[in-house]
Amino acid sequence: MLESLCNIKDTLDLLELITDMDFNSAVFDKRDEDCGVDAVYIDEDNNYINLYNFKFRDKFNVDREQSFNESFLSTKFVNAIVTENVNDLTGKIRKYSEEIIKNLNSTDV
């Protein structure tokens, strides 16, 4: 999915975008909290910041909706960016929040 959305073909580059705690724990043996953000892609060329939250379902049910709570899971991440205080974040999610703050504070549009 990320390959199509971000137009990145290199698997190692794609792996770096994934902040999901379960994925990083299984693949890299690192369990940093993801704050509800599964992947981050910062498109420096077009000045876009993309945050992704994916859901895996064993079985698709057309009547099932996403939990209302899902929107609030990323509050810690967004608050860290808004307040520019990433002290409580770790791992990739901290690295990306620092990059986002740097980009938002730049003079680029």
Walk along the chain (109 residues) and give the pLDDT tens digit of each residue.
Answer: 999 999 999 999 999 999 999 999 999 999 999 999 999 999 999 999 999 988 777 777 777 666 666 667 788 899 999 999 999 999 999 999 999 999 999 987 6
Confidence (pTM):
0.85
Distance CA 102, CA 86 (A): 12
pLDDT of residue 68: 60
Residue whose C-alpha is closest to residue 91's, from 10, 11, 37? 37
Tokens, residue 27: 């693949």
